[in-house]
Amino acid sequence: MVGKRGKTKTPHVNTPVSVASNQVIATNSYVGGRMRSFDDLQTLTKEQLKLECRKRGQKTTGTKNELLQRLGHKMNTTKRNTNTSNGSATIEDSSNSTQMTQSSNAVHSANKALEKAERESIVLWKKPLLTLEYFGKEVFELSCIYGNKLFEYRKLVLLLVSVLITFAVTLNLDGPHQSFIQQWYKKLLWCLYWTGLGILSSVGLGTGLHTFLLYLGPHIAQVTLAAYECNGLNFPEPPYPDEIICPTSLSGTATVSILSIMSKVRLESMCWGAGTALGELPPYFMARAARLSGIDPDEEDELAEFEELQRKNKEDLTLMEKGKLLIEDIVQKVGFLGILACASIPNPLFDLAGITCGHFLVPFWTFFGATLIGKAIIKMHIQKLFVIIAFNEALITTALSWLHLVPVVGESLQTPFKAFLDDQKSKLHRRGSPQTTEKSNILGSIFEKFVIVMILYFVLSIVNSLAQSYHKRLHKRKKTN
């Protein structure tokens, strides 16, 4: 009887365990009536993997590879627990699954590296025909995309077009309003000009055009030199700001000081700073859209760099990478004041601040407000002050007198610099039309050629960047198809 009872109790005890085990498998491994293996999971899209994680009570954030590893670990753990309760082990299956995951990750990384190397080789000096072809196709794609966007907001577009047409008609109608309209029209064009240069300086199109060094810096320096030479800031308008000429009389001239010069160039400087703030928006919107839509960071070069920095060991980081991580920590932990601090100093790594703010879903006005205040007000006044002090007449004269002390080339440099300075001063005192027989200074011609080279390089970088964007677009289409 005892033996009988033992035999009858044994199946009675094991049955619930077996049922419970089957329920675990059904809950964690069966979807749609069949069990998903690790190979089945690899065929799913990222959104389907997130749905699987949500069903199993796991986190749904991370890259596709991380989701696969998370689901594969969960399945292997479930199988190990189930088989252990039945008296069998699945260590070999778990190790095989881990090896498959590692090999899959290695293949994925190798493919990404090959794709990146192929994309970086699409430049005008290596593959000119292919680069121009991809550039044209990418321009067409972007035209279609933004054309559809404009069509979606057609009421707003029609309103703006109506306002512009009304302004153009008012501008060409004769009447007493013309003096007022012309004055504000010139101011508007002047502001748009410097805002556009500011955008070009910071927008992410392969490389930024250094418009402060090429345009705004020389403009501030010219106003500074003219203020000390003319002993005032009351330049005749017109031709100012297109040309600077000393006034014929000194009546009503303002006292020349650093603050008065800063006030004279404040409008163009703040417009340029506002343009640089607008140019920082693309990295922010890109990272924010990627975070909200669940795009794999490996698919975007900027986001991939951001993720790679976070995974690296701090001891292996270079000085530049440590600076990027420092900016990330400041922006993430301090918030508005951290963004303001990073935007208020000349900072070539500020793109990473925009990516960080977008990635952590910092509100738009928090990011843009701090960036605008920092770049258009604080940073701009620091840069103006530096240029005005550097081009003070007494300082320039002292620097020229010391230039001959430079070994070997000192004497040869002193002569053209003095000639350039004298030429600029003589231009300030000319009357009437400019002299056609005036000889161009060698430094002026060198600077003009330097500006042309920089602009050409900027245009080439835009062509290369758009061509590489089309290459990336093609590979995304292949993956989705």
Two tokens, residue 318? 């270079």
Please calculate the CA angle 143-146-149 and round it to the nearest 5 degrees.
145
Q: What's the pLDDT at 114?
A: 83
- Give residue 116's pLDDT band: very low, low, confident or very high (50, 70, 90): confident
Q: In the prediction, which pLDDT does 93 show?
A: 56
Query: What is the pLDDT confidence band of residue 378, given thresholds at 50, 70 and 90?
Result: very high
- Mean pLDDT, residues 154-168 taken together: 90
| pLDDT, tens digit, 9 for 90 and up, residues 248-259 | 766 555 578 888
Write down the domain spans for the chain: 2-113
- In this prediction, residue 194 carries a pLDDT of 93
Q: Which of 163-177, 179-193, 323-337 has the lowest mean pLDDT?
A: 323-337
Q: So what's the pLDDT on residue 168? A: 85
* Residue 88 half-sphere exposure toward CB, CA atoms < 13 A: 8
The model's confidence at residue 98, banded by pLDDT at 50, 70 and 90, is: low
Better pLDDT: 27 or 43: 43
> What residue type is assigned to position 281 of the chain?
L
| Mean pLDDT of the residues in the chain | 75
Average pLDDT over residues 319-332: 74
At 476, the pLDDT band (50, 70, 90 cuts) reads: confident
Most confident of 249-258, 382-391, 472-481: 382-391
Residue pair 80/89 in contact by the 8 Å Cβ criterion: yes
Element (H, E) at 285: helix 281-293
- Residue 31 phi/psi, 5-degree rounding, is -140, 125
Distance CA 244, CA 259 (A): 19
Q: What is the DSSP string of 118-140?
A: HHHT-STTT-HHHHHHHHHHHHH
What H or E segment, with its residue span, contains residue 364? helix 364-373
For 24, the token pair is 């675990």
C-alpha distances out from residue 411 to 391, 402, 408, 423, Å: 21, 10, 8, 19
- What is the DSSP track for 199-230? HHHHS-SSS---HIIIIIHHHHHHHHHHHHHH
In sequence order, what are the residues at sequence separation of 6 or more whose Cβ sits closer than 8 angstroms to the Cβ of residue 153? Answer: none
In the chain, % of residues over pLDDT 90: 11
Determine the average pLDDT of the residues in 270-278: 92
What is the pLDDT, as a whole number, of residue 84?
47
Does pLDDT of 439 surpass 50? Answer: no
pLDDT of residue 301: 57
